[in-house]
């Protein structure tokens, strides 16, 4: 069950100019916070040729409470800072340990 879903769009961040036409790249993020504190991140990368989208690819990953956020964008870090309270981290670790005992 997700409890929060946020889409973050970044402006065109890279431009590759070849004689003619002009290619640009755009990256956007969809961030969802699950009930147990995990953060799901979907990155969409779009390639444009003269302003028209010609390619789109996705990358998804999930961050558990206390995960390393070094390579995450600022918005994901900001969300984790708010969501990952001491109580959330303790509850997540307890449920994880409980699941491991069952297996």
Strands (E), the chain: 2-9, 14-17, 22-34, 39-49, 52-63
Tokens of 102: 């069952």
Closest CA to 62 of 20, 30, 89, 90: 30
What does pTM read for this prediction? 0.75
Domain of residue 90: give its range.
2-102
Q: 14-71: per-residue pLDDT in tens?
A: 555 446 889 999 999 999 999 999 999 999 999 999 999 999 999 999 999 999 999 9
SS3 state at 89: helix
At 64-102, the pLDDT tens digits run: 999 999 999 999 999 999 999 999 999 999 998 888 887
Q: What phi and psi values does residue 86 have, to the nearest 5 degrees? A: -60, -40
Q: Containing H/E element for 93? A: helix 86-102
Helix H or strand E segment including 79: helix 74-83
Query: Scanning the structure block, which residue is given the tokens 């340990």?
Result: 97
**How many domains is the chain built from?**
1
Distance CA 95, CA 49 (A): 48
Asked if the peptide bond before residue 21 counts as cis, ω within 30 degrees of 0, the response is yes
């Amino acid at each position: 069950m997700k409890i929060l879903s946020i889409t973050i769009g970044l402006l065109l961040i890279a431009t590759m100019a070849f004689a003619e036409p002009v290619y640009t790249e755009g990256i956007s993020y969809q961030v969802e916070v699950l009930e147990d504190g995990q953060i799901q991140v979907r990155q969409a990368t779009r390639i444009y040729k003269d302003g028209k989208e010609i390619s789109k690819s996705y990358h998804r990953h999930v961050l558990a409470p206390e995960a390393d956020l070094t390579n995450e964008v600022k918005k994901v870090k900001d969300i984790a800072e708010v969501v990952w309270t001491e109580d959330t981290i303790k509850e997540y670790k307890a449920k994880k340990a409980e699941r491991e005992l069952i297996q």
